Chains A and B, each alone.
Chain A
Amino acid sequence: MDAIETAPKAHFREYWDRRRILAPVMISPALLYIVALVGFPFVLAILYSLSDATTGNPSIHFVGLRNFATILHDPVFIRSLENTFLFTFVSQALVVVLSSILALALSEDFRGKQVVRFLILLPWTAPISLGAIGWLWIFDSVFSPMDWLLRAAGLLGVPHGFFGADSNLYWLGRPILAMASVIVVQTWRILPLATVILLAGISAIPNEILDAAAVDGASFWRRLFQIEIPLLLPVISIAVLFGVVFTFTDMTVVYVLTRGGPINSTQVLASWAFFVGIEAGDLGQGAAVALFLFPVLAGGTALVLRFARRREVA
């Protein structure tokens, strides 16, 4: 690496060192991607929600806020709205608790840790529709292996069985069990990501702080609740933010497992928007359903990001 060898390249290097040129070049692919795949559909959705477009006649003819007024009087929409909140909050509450336990356990040293880490990440790497189809079989009305286990344990399919005398539980056929099922699958799906985010957060806590807590006489629980969890809060809030946004806006699990049934008892806004807008063809109303929670999500996101930032500076 002598000076003579590097001299001709200096011109290029100088060029690449210029922030004003380099920065836009580097950021443009991401920007293009977002504009094409997020920005454009988003603007289109706003336009549709204010029009009476249908899949048969997608031309935009503005009708003001009529679509929003209509959906607010639709009992299925109200049900979906309630379900969305229930679905999101219960699944994310489970995710927070379970991912914290998992991440704290995985941050300890033990034999086979790498294997366990790999297994926990596995659901995240499999396509969600495939995973959900696997769960469809687990919840099958006739062949459910869970029912089989319960029957083998004598809890199901016998007179006075704990889970009833029927030979099957019909997981996806009963409103409460169906909701519980989609929540379980959504938790299973989001858990790996949250765990990995928290693991990163735990490894960022300086060892000396944990050592200091040990010397200062903190028991396991005191260390957990007064040192580790407070220091992890910004990271936990980010994990929750991701989970909430994914859960609020995604219909895969509901669509594959129940299609919103039975009788809309697991219908969420994302799936209802799809049924109204695409399957029934009312683009305007579908867009209105999909956009309904956008202000709530945007505001919530801004709040969480601000909190995480302020805590991080601390």
Chain B
Amino acid sequence: MALVRITGLTKYFNDHKAVDNISLATREGEFLVLLGPSGCGKTTLLRMIAGLEKPSSGEVVIGGRVVNDLPPRVRNIAMVFQSYALYPHMTVFKNISFPLRALKMEKEKINEKVEWAAQMFGIEQLLNRKPRELSGGERQRVALARAMVRMPSVFLLDEPLSNLDAKLRASAREELQQFQRQIGITTIYVTHDQVEAMGLGNRIVVMNHGKVRQIGTPWEVYHEPADTFVATFVGSPPMNLTEQGDVLVGFRPESFLPLEVNQGHGELKQFEFEVSLVEDLGGDRLIYGRLDEQFGRQRVVSRFAPNINFPIEAGRTHLFTVPEGKVKLFDRQTGVRIEKNIPAGEPDGRD
């Protein structure tokens, strides 16, 4: 197993700064998720770790060795691509054994390892098929098996679930997580889907415009966002933000509840809430509306968990509250959190 450490990594494409001075480090056997909107530089960062892209400046260290000038094949990493990138002219067996044949391994050993990998992903019966004869889910498993078969020191995944339909995606996510825990290989996973990131990651690196906005556990990123970008990118619906003087006041929809519901949760911040729409999602209810003049009639959302039976209807104004502890304050100019020192984009895992 190896640690990946990145220091001051920057990548220019012509004049465009795709990755901007990023430093971070993985922990032993960790599942690290790079999360951000498309074009934020997360895939470029991953490709630089893989060696498919040359950094403009900065260092990539894998297992204590600077690999900047080493080609992908000597880095002992494995990567799963968004399109799976299976070799279309080879059978599943040949696909999975390709990395082993590149290592010039003996035939019996190759057979043994391919069998092991195929068994792990439940694709033993597909070994003689060509990729075109497989379903999306099967292709994804073959891609994973091909990546895992030579036990790489680092496992890189670039949106590997985005080509699956929603139902399959959920079960594939669960399998992927189980499997990663079982093998314990340091994994770096790129996604733009915050649900995926929250569900999979030991830690999440939130990126935007080539920069790291926050590194933290899913809980930290969700409950203690470092700035307004993280606050609004993570969570669906996103954190409500409203202006009050020089600060932006932020609170999650599920903490923004009627006075009657929130009573007993300590000190409460009160808002007049004019409800305009109630959306029943089956389980949760989403309540859309506006705050009063004091908050510039800002549009906000409230989320009622299924156990909240409070009657509410559109067109009426209610007294809503947020427990003081759940109110987050941000600088209006920079969007950075004020009231607390949140570790933003600090390298970790130096031990």
Q: Which residues of A contact B (CB under 8 A)?
A: 206, 208-209, 211-219, 222, 226-227, 230-231, 311, 313-314
Contacts and interface: CB of A to CB of B under 8 A. Distances in A.
B161 interface: no
B79 interface: yes
> Do most interface residues of chain A lie in helix, strand or loop, or is the interface mixed?
helix
Contacts of A311: 89
A233 to B, nearest CB: 8
Interface residues of B, number: 27
A206 B85 CA distance: 8
A313 B132 CA distance: 9
Contacts of B73: 214-219
Contact of A217 (B82, B83, B99): B99
B161 to A, nearest CB: 16
Contacts of A211: 47, 50, 52, 72, 79, 81, 85
B77 A208 contact: no
B89 A215 contact: no
A211 B87 CA distance: 11
Given A208-B82, A211-B79, A314-B89, 7 more contacts: A209-B85, A211-B50, A214-B71, A215-B77, A222-B101, A222-B102, A226-B98
A208 B146 CA distance: 14
A311 B83 CA distance: 20
B78 interface: yes
Interface of B: 47, 50-52, 71-73, 77-79, 81-83, 85-89, 98-99, 101-103, 130, 132, 146, 150
A218 B81 contact: no
30 contacts: A206-B83, A206-B85, A208-B83, A209-B88, A211-B47, A211-B85, A212-B85, A212-B87, A213-B87, A213-B98, A214-B52, A214-B73, A215-B50, A215-B51, A215-B72, A215-B79, A216-B78, A216-B98, A216-B102, A217-B72, A217-B103, A218-B98, A219-B102, A222-B101, A227-B87, A231-B88, A231-B89, A311-B89, A313-B132, A314-B89
B72 A214 contact: yes
B191 to A, nearest CB: 17
Contacts of A230: 89
Contacts of B52: 211, 214-215
Contacts of A214: 51-52, 71-73
A311 B150 CA distance: 30
A15 to B, nearest CB: 40
Given A218-B73, A314-B132, A212 B102 contact: no
**From A208, A213, A216, A231, residue with most partner B Cβ within 10 Å:** A216
A209 B99 CA distance: 13
Given A212-B85, A217-B103, A219-B102, A314 B50 contact: no
A215 B62 CA distance: 15
Given A206-B85, A211-B85, A216 B146 contact: yes
Nearest to A313: B132
B55 to A, nearest CB: 16
Contact of B81 (A212, A217, A231): A212
A208 B102 contact: no
Nearest to A209: B85
B88 A218 contact: no
Contacts of A209: 85, 87-88
Contacts of A314: 88-89, 130, 132
- Among B71, B78, B88, the one with the most A-chain Cβ atoms within 10 Å of its Cβ is B88
Contacts of B85: 206, 208-209, 211-212
